[in-house]
């Protein structure tokens, strides 16, 4: 892509006190404060925040955005690839492969193209459409796992590992409490496990409503039941329970009797993290791009300039400059990437 004529133009995206802002289109992307018009990459809480006057997201994200933003929020959607003129620019949403309805946002203005990735991954996921590389002049990328140590195994192998752990605890008469993020990770685990078993899984209340949103979107997963529906005194021996990390150490855990705990996260690639956080088992599973995925994406966009947000942004920017010859720099934002909740 020949981008030299556009390098000296006014940026299509800048950082303001309210969030990422496109002055030519007069809108914000995933703003961290209420604004007049917010374009949303996906429904995680650090990207979809309550209080803006109008929201625009990808069509498959509508159910999740409604749950996140409330019944009173004014939300519109676009199908993937559908174009909309806003001010002087044309915008479109393209699959990011992160969670259901996640999207990259493409912005075009007088022949110049910027893409804001939001969060994304390159690995297959039965719960959402795969990442779509979008050619652009400037690419704004996340860097949650932008260190060479972070490389993901085949998710099908991870699901088999979880099933073996569950089977072992069933034989020992223990419950298996697996902590995972309520939006995205829990549903992906339920979908991957549905390939190899048909057992019912118990879920925390924070996870249940989001699982139902995925079912409404047609995603096939294992049958689930909220823990809250079980009577007091129920034995949980042999059960698999999915819960958000915030439930660890809470009084909610007392009901399970003898049990083992696990945590599914990309952070489990570093073995010491499991021990420090007090989990019995760690399963390496992330909804973000690993190091090879980040580098692959940088090349496939064809971008001559890459701005790097949340995560190991300095490391990735330096590598892109020194090894790929790309004009790359960190871009400071409060996005959180793969956090504890």
pLDDT reported for residue 272 = 84
Q: What is the mean pLDDT of residues 244-271?
A: 95
pLDDT reported for residue 2 = 38
Please give the Cα distance from 63 to 70 (Å, whole number).
Answer: 10
pLDDT reported for residue 338 = 60
pLDDT reported for residue 5 = 44
Q: How many CB atoms lie within 10 A of CB 65?
A: 22
Candidates 95, 92, 97, 88; CA nearest to 77 is 92
Output the pTM of the full model. Answer: 0.93
Candidates 339, 329, 162, 170; CA nearest to 267 is 339
**Predicted confidence band of residue 8 (pLDDT cuts 50, 70, 90):** low
């Amino acid at each position: 892509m020949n981008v030299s004529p556009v390098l000296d133009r006014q940026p299509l995206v800048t950082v303001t006190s309210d969030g990422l802002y496109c002055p030519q289109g007069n809108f914000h992307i995933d703003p961290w404060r209420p604004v007049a018009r917010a374009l949303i990459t996906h429904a995680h809480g650090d990207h979809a925040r309550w209080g803006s006057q109008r929201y625009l997201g990808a069509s498959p994200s509508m159910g999740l955005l409604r749950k996140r933003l409330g019944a009173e929020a004014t939300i519109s959607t676009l199908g993937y690839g559908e174009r909309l003129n806003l001010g002087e620019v044309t915008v479109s949403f393209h699959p990011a492969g992160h969670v259901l309805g996640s999207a990259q946002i493409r912005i075009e203005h007088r022949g110049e193209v910027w893409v804001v990735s939001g969060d994304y991954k390159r690995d297959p996921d039965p719960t959402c459409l795969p990442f779509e590389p979008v050619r652009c002049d400037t690419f704004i990328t996340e860097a949650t796992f932008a260190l060479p140590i972070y490389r993901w195994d085949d998710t099908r192998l991870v699901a088999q590992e979880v099933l073996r752990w569950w089977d072992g605890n069933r034989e020992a008469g223990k419950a298996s409490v697996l902590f995972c993020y309520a939006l995205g990770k829990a549903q992906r685990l339920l979908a991957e496990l549905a390939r190899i078993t048909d057992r019912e899984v118990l879920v925390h209340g924070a996870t249940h409503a989001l699982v139902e949103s995925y079912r409404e979107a047609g995603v096939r997963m294992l049958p689930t039941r909220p823990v809250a529906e079980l009577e007091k005194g129920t034995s949980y021996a042999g059960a698999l329970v999915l819960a958000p990390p915030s439930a660890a150490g809470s009084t909610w855990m007392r009901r399970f009797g003898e049990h083992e705990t696990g945590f599914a996260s990309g952070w489990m690639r570093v073995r010491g993290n499991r021990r420090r956080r007090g989990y019995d088992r760690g399963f390496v599973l992330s909804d973000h791009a690993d190091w090879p995925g980040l580098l692959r994406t940088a090349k496939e966009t064809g971008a001559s300039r890459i701005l790097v947000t949340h995560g190991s942004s300095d490391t990735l920017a330096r590598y892109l400059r020194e090894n790929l010859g790309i004009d790359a720099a960190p871009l400071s934002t409060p996005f959180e990437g793969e956090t504890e909740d």
